[in-house]
Structure 1
Amino acid sequence: MSFPKYPEYKDSGIDWLGEVPAHWRVCKLGFQYKVDLGKMLDAKRITGDALVPYLRNQDVQWGRINTDSLPVMDISEGELERYTVRHGDILVCEGGDVGRAALWAGSDRKVGFQKALHRLRPWTRGSQKSEYLLAVLFAAKISGYYDQDESKATIAHLPAEKFRQLRFPFPPAQEQQIIAAFLDHETARIDALVEEQKRLIELLNEKRQAVISHAVKSFGDGPAGKLGYYIDLLPGYAFPSSGFDHDTGVRLLRGVNVSVGSTRWDDVVYWPYDEKIRGLDEYWLKEGDLVIGMDRPWISSGARVARIKNSDLPALLLQRVARVRARNGLDQDFLELALSSQEFKDSIEADMTGVSVPHISPEQISSFRIALPKVDKQSEIVQEARRELDKLTQLLEEASINITLMQEHRSALISAAVTGKIDVRGWRADQQPEQSEVLMAAEERASYS
């Protein structure tokens, strides 16, 4: 999609905005919107006839507001105008994920908002388009604008007075409406494509599970026995969390580091090279080891079973993760398939009825019954399964890339429109403009699937 630039620009004086169209106004938020914090919860006043459901910080997410099972607080008749929302209000998180915002488009029923939220409301009805400002707030958020201004005295937060002083771009109201309509149309199209890719990922994961199950069932003609006879299983060592270091030492492989088919180290803790690790030789991981997360061992994309690579080392095994090695004629590759199979999951979940946080024990892993043919037959079946799984892995990676590209395009499109880098005043919803190169590339990848 190609749009022209505006004929004339001026310096906004704000780094993340840069130059804006010459006829746009750049001013403090408080000049255009009334900014109010919600009511502080008084636990002693949650009884009586003046109870009103209210929104909390966690209820406000980008693009949506949760209205299910809201708590209630006391808001008297005289406080309703000040502490409730109406159609067109914007709610912005004051703390936590500072600046996260959503538009209230709910019914006329009275709903309040807590002090952890700002309510933005135009001083004069019709003078501003809140849908446009919501997009501006998103662009400001991803640019890091709030990071430069938020107070960090205790926890990250954005006081009302400071929020009112922040400066944002304000085109004429009619132009705001055009930009908002353009973004609503285009982001909806992108979101639909993203959902298609997410559905594709679900189907590919189902296919992956079917391939694994087929391979495991192919071993049905061999003698059956408990998995414990064929494996060397070791639960991790109970390193005390009080001794964790977040900068130096040896990496500790925790449950959070075990994903489906791979390890991930974006959240790492270390243990110092001290006396504590002497005598723990068996807990040092080796290349080719299998590890399984024992808390919540299954997630939507599959079993949290991974193979240790050379790049994961050195690392020590922490409690709530089990290290598993094949022995007694069991192929290590097939062991990985077995631990990832639906059959293994079904056998374990039979013992988990009513458990709120799924956890598997070494005894449950060892008790899984498995049938094994000769080693050469194991290798043959595993190789066939691996070929299919490699194809599916490639398709899953491509789908994930598609999603990333489209989400990046979405963010870039919003930023370009609300900062005036593109002129969409001539856009019409009934037009069918040429697709952007990013979306074309994403859809081309999707077509291979």
Structure 2
Amino acid sequence: MSFPRYPSYKDSGVEWLGEVPEHWNVTRLRFLCQIETGDADTVDAVEDGEYPFFVRSSTVERIGRFTHDCEAVLTAGDGVGVGKVFHHFEGKFCAHQRVYIFRDFRDIKGRFFYNYIKELFLRVVLEGTAKSTVDSLRRPMIADFQITVPPLSEQQQIAAFLDGETAKIDALIAEQQQLIELLKEKRQAVISHVVTKGLNPDAPMKDSGIAWLGEVPEHWEISRLGYESWVRARLGWKGLKAEEYVDDGFVFLATPNIKGLSIDFENVNFINEHRYDESPEIKLRVGDVLLAKDGSTLGTVNVVRSLPRPTTVNSSIAVITPNLSLSGIFLFYLFQGFYMENTIQRIKGGMGVPHLFQADLNKFYIPLPPFKEQQSIATFLDNETTKLDTLTAEAKRGIELLQERRTALISAAVTGKIDVRGLVSTAIPEEAAA
């Protein structure tokens, strides 16, 4: 949908803002509201507290006291939420000591102010500082921020319009997010079923002897990973210093490189031949399964389907080379199913830092169909997961486009690039969108 423009414009005098409607004003933030910070600390949060407690993240905590009872816009003063986390609230609340509070609005509606600063502040500050991130906000940086100021009645119309339109876009985004979750669940269910029950629904079944695995096809075997593969990882390795990486050479994979649908050979580090040859047992070959064995990424898995150049891995990744009775792609899908999650939970037990040792991996029980059947299962799952992954990618791209439209619409409305005054009747009332 295209939107009309205002009848006439003037130069705002602000380079990044450009022209604004002729009857609008432009002023600095400090003239429009009171700027202050909270006085509480993170440890003051109370799980069942009576009042909202605004901290430096998008999550609103609870607290047992309040320091303000007013309409306010709040934003993180430092940390990862700088320029990204904004709240609009009216009532009793408390705020963290590094959260900025904007209140006592003058000549500007709180909702209009919220939409304006939420969409424009970070982009403008980044341009002004030539930084990809902003670590903290200083009061002068905030106080001097330029804001367009339409007449109050017009601000209310713009805010009402945006509440309605963004509610529609948010509903569409939520639908796409729900679709992604459903596709993820379906993907997991298809993999888990096929790698444990096979492709023939009429195949006679038998008890696997493993409680969490249940029944498997009667002609399948149950074996241990150590009997069917060579499992290894770097041992006694001193690691690499940053200056030891080279611009071009041998690929050195880390856990982030194996987290996706396929191994990322583009965003990698390179090492020289000497460091590559230090651990010949970790030199990769096609068909190897790579498994993250440490920390929060424990259980992340991928399979080497091709090698664009000689490649090795760091000490956080276990390398599993199947023998002739085991397909690497079948093993990859077996790990992707609920199998790995169940196994990790049993192995990990009460360990403080999650870690899988080589001895643990060797003990893993695995269902073992005949090799040709493993290949058929792998081919079937390649086809099915590709279809599901394509649908997921389309849904994610749809969300990106909707988010871009949402941002562009808000930015255009609050800076006067479009005239929405005649469209307010189609928007959801402000109180219904809150």
TM band (smaller chain): 0.7 to 0.9
Which of residues 70, 78, 84 in structure 2 aligns to 1:95?
Answer: 78
1:430 to partner: Cα distance: 4.0
CA contact (8 A) 1:37 1:160 kept: no
For structure 2, which runs of at least 5 residues remain unmatched after alignment? Answer: 45-49, 199-215, 429-434
CA contact (8 A) 1:212 1:341 kept: yes
CA distance 1:260–1:13, shift in 2 (3 Å): same
Q: Which residue does 1:440 correspond to in 2? A: none
Q: Which residue does 2:210 correspond to in 1? A: none
Q: What is the letter of the counterpart of residue 418 of structure 2?
A: I
Which of residues 78, 102, 116 in structure 2 aligns to 1:120?
Answer: 102
Q: What is the letter of the counterpart of residue 404 of structure 2?
A: E
1:169 to partner: Cα distance: 1.1
SS at match of 1:86: strand
Show the 5 A alignment for 1:34-113: 34-39=34-39, 57-59=55-57, 61=58, 66-68=60-62, 84-96=67-79, 97-105=81-89, 107-108=91-92, 111-113=94-96
CA distance 1:286–1:255, shift in 2 (3 Å): same
Q: Which residue does 2:228 correspond to in 1? A: 230
CA contact (8 A) 1:293 1:305 kept: yes
1:236 to partner: Cα distance: 4.1
Which of residues 318, 321, 324 in structure 2 aligns to 1:325?
Answer: 321
Q: What is the letter of the counterpart of residue 367 of structure 2?
A: A
Distance of 1:330 and 1:292 partners within structure 2 = 16
Q: Which residue does 1:335 correspond to in 2? A: 331
Q: What is the letter of the counterpart of residue 132 of structure 1?
A: F
Distance of 2:119 and 2:267 partners within structure 1 = 27
CA distance 1:166–1:90, shift in 2 (3 Å): same
1:424 to partner: Cα distance: 0.7
Alpha-carbon displacement from aligned partner over 1:123-159 (angstroms, at most 9, x marks no partner):
54xx3112111211122245x211244598x973321
SS at match of 2:394: helix
Q: Which residue does 1:289 correspond to in 2? A: 288
SS at match of 2:31: helix
CA contact (8 A) 1:253 1:318 kept: yes
Distance of 1:42 and 1:203 partners within structure 2 = 36
Distance of 1:353 and 1:410 partners within structure 2 = 45
CA distance 1:27–1:288, shift in 2 (3 Å): farther
Distance of 2:158 and 2:252 partners within structure 1 = 49
SS at match of 1:111: strand
1:26 to partner: Cα distance: 1.0
Q: Which residue does 1:385 correspond to in 2? A: 381
Q: What is the letter of the counterpart of residue 206 of structure 1?
A: E
CA distance 1:112–1:369, shift in 2 (3 Å): closer
Name the count of aligned residue pairs. 401
Alpha-carbon displacement from aligned partner over 1:55-106 (angstroms, at most 9, x marks no partner):
56523x3xxx5123x599xxxxxxx8xxx33332111223234323423425
1:233 to partner: Cα distance: 1.9
CA contact (8 A) 1:122 1:128 kept: no
The RMSD of aligned alpha carbons is 3.5
CA distance 1:150–1:245, shift in 2 (3 Å): farther
Are 1:206 and 2:185 an aligned pair?
yes
Show the 5 A alignment for 1:2-17: 2-17=2-17
Alpha-carbon displacement from aligned partner over 1:32-61 (angstroms, at most 9, x marks no partner):
122223448699xx9xxxxx98956523x3
Distance of 1:255 and 1:367 partners within structure 2 = 23
Q: Which residue does 1:446 correspond to in 2? A: none
Q: TM-score, normalised by structure 1?
A: 0.78
CA contact (8 A) 1:86 1:106 kept: yes
